[in-house]
Amino acid sequence: MRRNCLIILAFVGSLVTPAHAQQGPKGPQDLSSLTIEDLMNIEVTSVSKREEKLSRTASAIFVITQEDIQHSGATNIPDLLRMVPGLDVAQIDGSTWAISARGFNQQSSDKLLVLIDGRTVYSPLFSGVQWDAQGVPLENIDRIEVIRGPGASVWGANAVDGVISIITKKADQTQGGLVSGGGGTNEQGFGTVRYGGMLGARGAYRISSNYSNHSHLPDPSGQSGEDAWNALRADLRAEYGLTAKDSATVDISGYRGGEGERVPTVTSISPPVNQVLDLRQIFSGWSILSRWDHVFSARSDTSLQVYFDKTDRSDPTYGEGFSTFDLDFQHHLQWGTRQNIVWGLGYRHIGDATQGTLRVVFTPAAQTDQIFSGFLQDEIAIRPDSVYVTLGGKLEHNDFTGFVFQPSARIACVANEHTMLWSSVSVAKRTPSFADIGVQFTQFASPGPGGLSVVAVAFGNPLEKDENLLATEAGLRREFGDRVSLDVTTFFNHYTGLRSTEPGAAFLESDPAPLHIVLPFVFSNLLHGETHGAEVAVKWKISNRWTLSPGYAFLLMHMHPDPASQSLQAGFAMEGSSPAHQAQLRSHLVLPGQFQFDVSGYFVGRLPAQNVPSYTRLDAGMTWEPGERFSFSLVGQNLLQDHHLETTNPDLIIQSNLMKRSGYAKIVWHF
């Protein structure tokens, strides 16, 4: 393994040295003879600054910009993430999504770290993300930075296969008022109200609230899937410059919502009855975050962040509530002329309380986990402006598996102004969630020998260990003239200690009555495997009015049970639950008369283990912006088919429904 990595690094390095000086194709425009008045009258192609620069970041980063958000027609964050090549977004029902990077997609996808303004939003209960509760108004989002591959040397455990960082606009960028609203066939009604003002000469604030109401989706038989949902949310942000060198930020948010869900469950042990219940789940939560940034000098600055986050969720079969307190300190300094150092210390306390039923029980019902962490990252300019090496590592201690060390080494080579190559080797770990340790999940009951019922139950394992990843990545970013940019990433991941469910010895149980046989499946770490693949993102500005953004992702997964494992199906179930091929094409066209026309097509390959056929999703939208204050848009989603299935959700937590063709109209007013 190590030898392979060295070969790859040497290979990348050898490609970098012949830095051929390549000039852009544009002819030299003699603008120097023009006066300022002339210059002020030239119409320019306004392109996002972020797209223009060839980022030096030595990882597979994709940034969803404000323009991308406006052009996407998406009304929620999961649908926005479909545009990132290498992310797999599968909607389960109206309010539930399975999202992962580079494989392992399921409702409880647990290897992806998601942050909103620096606050982690994955559930410590199952390490996954409840996307219905992350309804930040899209109008407030500045950008979404998606890193595929490990980010663990900075972000810590669970940043295994990717990091999604949702960054909202600063309060001083959202001054004045905004009202937006709309409705349609599936998105029955949605709206956002926002107002921003100044706090004296040195500060700014913003307050916003948004609501959405969604209709039922069809179930696989074509009947109503009983999964309508709604959510109400409010956000407040304030920034204040305390002194010339100090600034403070406060972010407060709260939300509440309810959603229908179809829950497959055992309703009676004897006689054995398995039913799908139509239930209603209520979710709510709030958080407060504050950050203090201090600048010592041009070469040194610090940031201290503290937040508290409370989340509750319940339906008639189950209830959970957890609170997170997090303290995070970071110091950035330039050391000498060649080293850029960031180090930090963190503390997190998570407490949770659950309420179980026959279907799902946690043991213990309430517990806590404390995480202490420290990280150091040093970017060294080996050859300034061309070769940068970044070494970093994070050391964490948690209550379940003790010390966890996650190092990484990255190299970035800027071959010339238009070409950049990078490669990395990193270690990342997923620490056990509360569910991995102590869940008891009753899956189904069936008639058994001697008139006794047999009940299959998945059990958490108090001895559950970390899942480990050794990731090797390499990538290329290149610009061809002014109008075409290319970003290619390849990766080879080696996993050990992946969670498997091992059949245990059947036993008799009398509580709950009557006496029945329990067929246990116990979480263990007896699976290993490799994944490899490539992701390509292209942006082609065909003309000033037309941009095409094709993308493609390829993924191969090979999972193997350890010799001690008796779980024969686990490998295939994992390999066949993520699409091998995904492709997309997004088109943005500016039409005369302040009209814009957007079309996005997404192809997702089949999921053999779930019997889900491949599908192509087509969204289209027309926007009219008669001035700076108003915009009107009409959007159609899933236009190609009446309905399609994206996953059968083998987790058995809820039943999946079909995505249907839909449309909505929207109006935005700035004042």
Partner 1 sequence: MKMKRKAHTSSGLSRAAALWLALLATVCCASGPVAWPAAAQSSEPTEYQVKAAFLFNFTKFVDWPESVFADAHAPIVLGIVGEDPFDGDLGQIVAGQMVKGRAISIRKYRFGEDLRHCQILFVGSSEQMHIPNILLSVQGASILTVSDVDQFADSGGVMQFVVEQSRVHFIVNWDAAMRAHLEISAKLLALARVINRTESRGVN
384 or 593: CB nearest partner 1: 384
Q: Which amino acid is at 235?
A: D
CA distances for 505 relative to 195, 508, 521, 522, 526, angstroms: 61, 10, 9, 10, 17
Window 486-515: residues binding partner 1 (CB under 8 A): 486, 488, 490-492, 494
Among 132-140, 308-316, 416-424, 428-436, the segment contacting partner 1 (CB under 8 A): 416-424
What is the smallest separation between the CB atom of 572 and partner 1, expressed in angstroms?
9
Among 19, 39, 273, 640, binds partner 1 (CB under 8 A): 39
Window 519-578: residues binding partner 1 (CB under 8 A): 528, 530, 532, 534, 542-544, 554, 556, 558, 560
Nearest residue to 93 via CA among 254, 203, 270, 228: 228
Binding mask 43-62 for partner 1 (x = CB under 8 A): xxxxx-xx-xxx-x------
Contacts (Cβ under 8 Å, ≥6 apart) of 270: 452, 453, 514, 516
Tokens for 2?
Answer: 């190590």
* 354 vs 366: CA distance, rounded Å: 6
What is the smallest separation between the CB atom of 623 and partner 1, expressed in angstroms?
17
Among 176, 220, 447, 481, binds partner 1 (CB under 8 A): 481
Among 41-49, 183-191, 342-350, 639-647, the segment contacting partner 1 (CB under 8 A): 41-49
Among 310, 478, 606, 670, binds partner 1 (CB under 8 A): 478
397 lies in the binding site for partner 1 (CB under 8 A): no
Tokens for 494?
Answer: 């080696």
What is the smallest separation between the CB atom of 243 and partner 1, expressed in angstroms?
11
Contacts (Cβ under 8 Å, ≥6 apart) of 19: 386, 415, 416
Among 148-156, 209-217, 479-487, 513-521, the segment contacting partner 1 (CB under 8 A): 479-487
Range 364-401 burial, b when 16+ CB lie within 10 A, else e: eeebebebebebbbebebeeeebbbebebbbebebebb
334 lies in the binding site for partner 1 (CB under 8 A): yes
What is the smallest separation between the CB atom of 43 and partner 1, expressed in angstroms?
5
How many chain residues bind partner 1 (CB under 8 A)? 83
Tokens for 381?
Answer: 């300019």
Specify the DSSP class assigned to residue 519. E
Among 65, 108, 145, 172, binds partner 1 (CB under 8 A): 172
417 lies in the binding site for partner 1 (CB under 8 A): yes
626 lies in the binding site for partner 1 (CB under 8 A): no
Residue corresponding to tokens 């309380």: 353
What is the smallest separation between the CB atom of 170 and partner 1, expressed in angstroms?
8
* 161 vs 426: CA distance, rounded Å: 11
C-alpha 99, offset from chain centre? 7
C-alpha 643, offset from chain centre? 25
Among 360, 476, 607, 654, binds partner 1 (CB under 8 A): 476
Window 290-309: residues binding partner 1 (CB under 8 A): 295, 297-299, 301
What is the smallest separation between the CB atom of 376 and partner 1, expressed in angstroms?
18
What is the smallest separation between the CB atom of 203 and partner 1, expressed in angstroms?
12
Handedness of CA 495, 112, 551, 606 (dihedral sign): positive
Binding mask 189-228 for partner 1 (x = CB under 8 A): ----------------------------------------
What is the smallest separation between the CB atom of 549 and partner 1, expressed in angstroms?
15
Tokens for 371?
Answer: 């995480």
C-alpha 401, offset from chain centre? 25
Window 346-385: residues binding partner 1 (CB under 8 A): 381, 384-385
What is the smallest separation between the CB atom of 296 and partner 1, expressed in angstroms?
9
Window 418-447: residues binding partner 1 (CB under 8 A): 419, 421
φ and ψ of 158, to 5 deg = 85, -10
Helices (H), 53-207: 66-72, 77-81, 152-155
How far separated are the first and last CA of the chain, in Å rounded?
A: 59
243 lies in the binding site for partner 1 (CB under 8 A): no
Among 32-40, 64-72, 225-233, 359-367, the segment contacting partner 1 (CB under 8 A): 32-40
Q: What is the CA radius of gyration of the chain?
A: 26
37 or 511: CB nearest partner 1: 37
C-alpha 108, offset from chain centre? 13
202 or 397: CB nearest partner 1: 202
Contacts (Cβ under 8 Å, ≥6 apart) of 100: 87, 88, 106, 109, 111, 112, 161, 162, 578
* 403 vs 395: CA distance, rounded Å: 7
Q: What is the DSSP string of 587-626?
A: EEEEETTTEEEEEEEEEE--BGGGTBPPEEEEEEEEEE-S
Range 184-219 burial, b when 16+ CB lie within 10 A, else e: bebbbebbbbbbbeeeeeebbbbbbbbbbbbbbbbb
Burial (CB count <10 Å: 0-12, 13-18, 19+), residue 347: middle
What is the smallest separation between the CB atom of 616 and partner 1, expressed in angstroms?
21
Helix (H, G, I), strand (E, B) or coil at 79: helix
What is the smallest separation between the CB atom of 668 and partner 1, expressed in angstroms?
18
Among 237, 262, 483, 539, binds partner 1 (CB under 8 A): 483
What is the smallest separation between the CB atom of 472 and partner 1, expressed in angstroms?
7
Give the total residue count for the chain.
Answer: 671
20 or 403: CB nearest partner 1: 20
538 or 634: CB nearest partner 1: 538
What is the smallest separation between the CB atom of 480 and partner 1, expressed in angstroms?
5
Among 337, 507, 564, 592, binds partner 1 (CB under 8 A): 337
482 or 642: CB nearest partner 1: 482
Window 53-112: residues binding partner 1 (CB under 8 A): 53-54, 56
Among 482, 569, 629, 667, binds partner 1 (CB under 8 A): 482
Helices (H), 369-482: 434-438
484 lies in the binding site for partner 1 (CB under 8 A): yes
Tokens for 102?
Answer: 């580079």
643 lies in the binding site for partner 1 (CB under 8 A): no
Q: Which amino acid is at 32?
A: S
What is the smallest separation between the CB atom of 522 and partner 1, expressed in angstroms?
24
Among 187-195, 447-455, 473-481, 513-521, the segment contacting partner 1 (CB under 8 A): 473-481
Binding mask 1-30 for partner 1 (x = CB under 8 A): x--x--xx--xx--x----x-xxxxxxxx-
What is the smallest separation between the CB atom of 181 and partner 1, expressed in angstroms?
26
